[in-house]
């Protein structure tokens, strides 16, 4: 089931009207593009348990979104962007929202 969800996300049409593809899905999951490609093709030799867990947490919801304690319901892409921003800026954030995101994102159950 989770593999079908992953393949569906790779083929899904993004906001730009084009298929998301493995690169965008990998970004949203926080894993490598190669891992997404290999898993979709059934050629991934390592354990897929962590990938399965991420796919279920990020894409497994019926609404297609992620519930963020700070931002509310957001898309997987927005979650990925905010998570990467929070990691990059860290405690040096001057913006209170970014600092709140940093503190929340580092303990997020979706991204771990």
CATH code linked to domain 1-60: 1.10.260
Query: What values do phi and psi take at 49, rounded to 5?
Result: -60, -45
- Helical H segments across the chain, by residue range: 2-11, 21-29, 33-41, 49-59, 76-89, 96-105
Model pLDDT, residue 107 = 84
**Whole-number pLDDT of residue 63:** 57
Q: pLDDT digits over 72-110, tens only?
A: 888 888 888 888 888 788 778 777 888 888 888 888 887
The pTM assigned to this predicted structure is: 0.73
Domain ranges of the chain: 1-60, 63-112
Task: Indicate the SS3 state at residue 90.
Answer: helix
């Amino acid at each position: 089931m989770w593999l079908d969800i992953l393949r569906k996300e790779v083929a899904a049409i993004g906001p730009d009207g084009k298929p998301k593809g493995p690169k965008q899905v990998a970004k949203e999951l926080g894993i490598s593009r190669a891992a997404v490609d290999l898993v979709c093709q059934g050629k991934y030799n390592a354990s897929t348990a962590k990938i399965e867990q991420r796919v279920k947490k990020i894409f497994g919801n019926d609404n297609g979104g992620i519930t963020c304690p700070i931002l509310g319901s957001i898309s997987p892409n927005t979650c990925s962007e905010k998570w990467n921003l929070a990691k990059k800026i860290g405690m040096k954030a001057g913006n209170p929202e970014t600092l709140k995101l940093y503190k929340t994102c580092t303990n997020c159950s979706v991204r771990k």
